[in-house]
Amino acid sequence: MSPQDLSERLAKMGTPVGKDAIAQWLEDAGIRRRQIRKDIPGGEHPDRDRQFERIAELVSQYETAGEPWFSIDTKAKEHLGLLYRKGRVRGNRSFEAFDHDFPSWADGVLIPHGIFDPKANLGHINLGLSHDTSEFACESFRRFWNKFGHRRYPDATSILLTCDGGGSNSASKYIFKYDLERLSDSIGLPIRIAHYPPYCSKYNPIERRFFPHIGRACSGMLFDCLDTAVSLMRGAKTRTGLRTTVAVIKRIFETGRNATQEMKDNLTIVYDDLLPKWNYVANPRT
């Protein structure tokens, strides 16, 4: 019931009160318009708490040793072109978009793969132009490491990546582990993976400390061309020091790849004794 509705009802009862006064009373009482919060988990895995403890333990170990750890994930796909995007921006004119959001009307797609360094409070986005695959996710990190990561951590002897257990970094897909080993070979460092349990991806630091700021920087703006998207995302920052770098990966990634039996047989992934499905290390083979 709105303040106007309450004002009209009180007037009928013989107690006229203006809607503005009612709105202020409600505000003072902590009664205001609120959104529904997505806080109820869709399920709970029996090993949930143990895995959270393991992730906290690993993060502490890596930070104490001065080793790098990163939170990674792929943000929702975006469309290039004059397709509507939610949000509002200040301006002296309105922006116009197509009256229907048909993907076929887009000029292309953007696959934003994020890499967040919680300790340094620095984020990076690689914008893919084809598909969100395990090969894309690993190539994204390889490019990030070769351009930024190894300069920030020149003495690194191991890397920790925290991520959810689905999508391009699926905990159950051998093809991700295969591509991960190739990534480890390429950068010459062991890569430890720690997956968040099912229904818990929102606790991955990138989801809370980086992606929301990317969303705000782009809110209400059309991605009319690739340069616009890159420029907007680079503008994601906070007063507490968050800064963002952005790059584009133009390579086309093949979908539908599955690990062959030979790939599986040749894997040298080292699994932890504790919750091995979520905790393992890829070591360079060369």
Question: Which helix (H) or strand (E) covers residue 280, if one does?
Answer: strand 279-282
Domains of the chain (ranges; CATH) run 1-37 (no CATH), 48-282 (3.30.420.10)
22 backbone φψ class: left, alpha, beta (φ>0; ψ -120 to 50): alpha
What is the C-alpha to C-alpha distance for residues 145 and 159, in angstroms, rounded to an integer? 10
State the distance between the two ends of the chain, measured CA to CA, in whole angstroms. 68
* Whether the predicted pLDDT of 286 surpasses 90: no
CA distances from 40 to 110, 181, 198 (A): 30, 36, 13
pLDDT averaged over every residue in the chain: 94
* Whether the predicted pLDDT of 32 surpasses 90: no
Contact status, residue 173 vs residue 138, Cβ threshold 8 Å: no
The CB-side HSE value for 138 (13 A sphere, CA atoms) comes to 22
Tell me the two tokens of residue 79. Answer: 């469309």
Strands 191-195, 279-282: parallel, antiparallel or unpaired by DSSP? antiparallel
Strands 108-117, 159-163: parallel, antiparallel or unpaired by DSSP? unpaired
As a whole number, mean pLDDT of residues 223-239 equals: 97
Residue type, position 201, single letter: S
| pLDDT the model gives residue 41 | 62
Cα R_g (the chain), whole angstroms: 23
- Quote the strand ranges of 97-205, DSSP E: 108-117, 122-128, 159-163, 191-195
Which of 114, 110, 111 lies closest to 206 in space, CA to CA?
A: 114
What is the C-alpha to C-alpha distance for residues 126 and 128, in angstroms, rounded to an integer? 6
Higher pLDDT, 32 or 149: 149
pLDDT tens-digit series, residues 74-110: 999 999 999 889 998 777 777 889 889 899 999 999 9
| pLDDT the model gives residue 39 | 62
- Bridge partners (DSSP) of residue 123 are 116, 244
pLDDT tens-digit series, residues 160-219: 999 999 999 999 999 999 999 999 999 999 999 999 999 999 999 999 999 999 999 999
pTM summary value = 0.85
Contact status, residue 246 vs residue 210, Cβ threshold 8 Å: no
* Whether the predicted pLDDT of 40 surpasses 70: no
59 backbone φψ class: left, alpha, beta (φ>0; ψ -120 to 50): alpha
